Structure 1
Amino acid sequence: MPASKADTAELLEAVVAGWLADPDNDVVYSEQVDGYLVIRLRQAVRDFTSVWFLVGDRSVDVEAYVLPAPDREDSPVFRQCLVRNQRAWRVHFMVGKDGGLVLHGRVPNEAVTRAELSYLLAEIYETIEVSFRSLIRAGWTDQSGREK
């Protein structure tokens, strides 16, 4: 039997509260914004990543902003993202509403568990740690290799 939206939201809030209570966890803040549960995730490669969870009737969507749209439409950034998507399991790169790069994932409500939420967050963390600098080099450097 599929989990209800209310039960899924309650579980998500409990898991986030546990992350916040754990001093060794990289989740440092959470708040509700327009129906989303938003957390701030401390990162090594950049200060923070905001992760947005939206609990729906059938699934939980998760998004994390990565970078703004590259300067050029033919940027190698898009190829890098597609190659990384081949290796991804829970989250994938996509173009966001504003044209920027985001990581997106979706989990059916009946599959949402404490472990699955931890795996989702870990994959977001790892994907940004591994790809952030190379994406910047691919999309926002001049001919000499310096960041713009």
Structure 2
Amino acid sequence: MSSRTVDELDAVIEQVLRDGELVHEHPTPGTWLVDLPGTKKLKTVCGLVVGEHALRVEAFVCRQPDENREQLWTFLLQHNARMYGVSYSIDNVGDVYLTGRLPHAAVTAEELDRILGSVLSYADDHFNTMLEIGFGTSIRREWDWRVKRGESLRNLEAFAAFADPSRRGDAAPAGEE
């Protein structure tokens, strides 16, 4: 059985990206950079690289955590068991990625759409939790600094309940501690 060529795989990838109206770059044959728009993580850049036997999928999720590394790794590994097509991994400095491989024969429009959807979902859905685990002290410090100076909290609003105990739904009413 003959293997699919880079040109054939590029044609499938290009059609999926065009149909999905996804911003992308195609710097060399077999290499694609795709912007996946999210809500919590505003953009996830996903690399697609045609290798000799498989399409490699790789997306940066977040930099190495400042704290609670083992707790974050545990969180990620527990999610890996339930994930489709990609899994969380870390590089040699501890930055978090989503990575996967898809055999050439499985590179179809439907499967590629499913894989890109998985990357977007996993990067976006868990992003704030990853930041709270790995950067909680920094988030709280930044929140407090902005509150004291009357600065905007707009880009930290997703962490309001985490950073400001008075905003938590489970906060005890005044005088009942």
For this structure pair, what is the TM-score category when the shorter chain's length is used for normalisation?
0.7 to 0.9
Q: Which residue of 2 aligns with 1:11?
A: 12
Equivalent-residue separation in structure 2 for 1:16 and 1:73 (angstroms): 37
Letter in 2 for 1:19: G
Q: When you count helix as a share of all residues, which structure comes out higher?
A: 2
Stretches of structure 2 lacking an aligned partner (at least 5 in a row):
143-177
Q: Matches of residues 1-148 of structure 1 in structure 2 within 5 Å? A: 1=1, 2-20=3-21, 27=22, 29-33=23-27, 36-72=31-67, 74-96=69-91, 98-142=93-137, 146=140
Equivalent-residue separation in structure 1 for 2:133 and 2:40 (angstroms): 16
SS in 1 for 2:4: coil
Structure number, greater radius of gyration: 2
- Which shifted more, 125-134 or 112-121? 125-134
Q: When you count strand as a share of all residues, which structure comes out higher?
A: 1
Letter in 1 for 2:82: R
- Which shifted more, 7-16 or 105-114? 7-16
- Aligned-residue sequence identity (percent) comes to 24
Stretches of structure 1 lacking an aligned partner (at least 5 in a row):
21-26
Deviation at 1:47, TM superposition (A): 1.7
Structural RMSD (CA): 2.1
TM-score (norm. length: structure 1): 0.84
Query: 1:75–1:139: 8 Å Cα contact kept in structure 2?
Result: no
Tell me how many residue pairs correspond in the alignment: 140
